[in-house]
Structures are given as C-alpha cells and as structure tokens.
Amino acid sequence: MSAKKVLVTGSGTGIGREIALEFARQGAVVALHYAHSERGAESAVKEILSGGGKATAIRADLSEVSQAQNLAVQAIEFLGGIDVLVNNAGITLTLEFEKVTPEQFDKVYNVNVRGSYFLTQMAIQPMIKQGKGTIVNLTSVHGLRACKGHSVYAGTKGAIISATRELAIELAPLGIRVNAIAPGAVPVENQFKAAGMDSFPELGKSIPCGFAGTPLDIAKVAVFLASDDARYIVGQTIVIDGGATSWMSFSEGYRDTGLRLGQGYVPGI
C-alpha cells in the first residue's frame, strides 16, 4: 500500500475508522470521510499524522448526491488522484416491516446505496485514466441471511452485493477491480451506545468460532482486497463472520432428538 491513494467513507467510527488506520499503517495516503463523527475522524487523522503518514478528514452527507459527488472531488484533490475507494459508510434501521415509513426507507437507501453509487461514479474517473484501481464495498451478512426487523437495511445490503457483481464485470476490462466484504457480528461503539452497554459478552456463544470479530479483522481483509495480491479476485463478496452463515441453526434441534440418519443403508450406522 506504499503511497497508495485511498478514500474510506464512514471512517469516523467503527469498522471504517479501523480500515482507514490500517491502510495508513501499510503506507497509504488516506482521505477519511465522516457525516457526523467528526471527533473520531479527526482523532484518526491525528494518529496517522503522528505516525508520519498523511491524511485528512472530509465531511459529507451521502444522502445528498451532490455532497457525495463533491466528496470524491475533494478527496481526489487532496490525494492527487485515487487508487482505492472503500465504500463503508452506511446507516441501519431496526423496525418492523409494517411500521416503516417512506421517509425512513428513502433515508437508508439514499445513504447506503444511492450515495455510494454516485460517489463511485465520480471516484473511478482517475482510475480509468490510469488504467487501474480497486473498489471495496462493505455490505453485511444481512444481505445474505434474514433477521426480523431489518427489511430496509437488509435490502440495501443485498443491493450492494448485486451492484458489486455488476460493476465488477463492467469495470474489470478498464483495470478496476470491484469486490465486497460482508461482516458478521463485529461489535462497534455505536452498537454499544444504542444498547447501553460496553460489551456483548454472550455474543460469541452464538458464533461457531466462539467469538465475535473486531474492526481490525475486517480492515485487514479490505487492505488485502485492495492489494496486488488479490489481483485475480473480481466481483466477489467475502464473508467474514466466524462461520455464522455456514451454520444451519435448525440442525441443533435434530441433534437434540438423537436422530441419526443413514441407518440401514450406510455401513456402521
């Protein structure tokens, strides 16, 4: 990542902040975007500068297309171009389907899908000129598995997965690789704040590997996908969830009954 020019959206807190820091640790010049978390973004910039790196923080409301487009312009101006775009910014909503209003629906889709779509459209222009670049989209396991109360959020994350595949085949001939990351349970400060807790000690019990992930787990994969080591990975969604989406939870019910299939036709059963 030495001297790579990187823009990370939603990097004032949580996963996005750690992604920005990890790119900087690996030698990249980083533009951090935030909408509300100015303190977190500015503290990350200070940390990068104190380590001898180069970074800046840029505010933009991605629900407004003009601001999303202007973010790309400002980032490219600061960076002197752009090699890597990480579309991490997103908001969530936990609400029963029948209670969702059009305004709530539009807000989540505008930030999570519409804003990043038109930001990407602007950000790829320098990549096209130089004949190379990488885009890493952050989606979620919510785009792959269902969870009650997340019809709007899950819809946006599914859209990101589909858009990643589509953009990948359109942009690969231009030298631009597009992939996505779908994190599973990765507790961050905003979740702690919403829950009124400083940790989720029981969370690991529901994950096959026995523990929840951290923002750094996601950040390291984001850097890998942006590197030349991942040059043959195109249009993929990498799931990082400790095995959660691989697990058929209903199978535990069968196990508890003592059911053993194969009797009478598989030797030794």
* Nearest by Cα to 101 from 151, 139, 159, 144: 151
Cβ–Cβ < 8 Å for 234, 178 = yes
Q: Check residue 78 and give left, alpha or beta (phi > 0: left; psi -120 to 50: alpha).
A: alpha
Q: Which two three-digit tokens encode residue 214?
A: 């951290």
Catalytic residue numbers?
153
Lateral strand order in the sheet of 55-59: 55-59, 29-34, 5-8, 84-87, 133-138, 176-183, 237-240
DSSP state letter for 12: S
Q: Which residues contact 164 (CB under 8 A, 6 or more apart)?
A: 137, 139, 178, 179, 180, 235, 237
For helices 14-25 and 38-50, the axis angle rounded to 10 degrees is 10
C-alpha–C-alpha distance, residues 163 and 158, integer Å: 9
Number of Cβ within 10 Å of residue 205's Cβ equals: 8
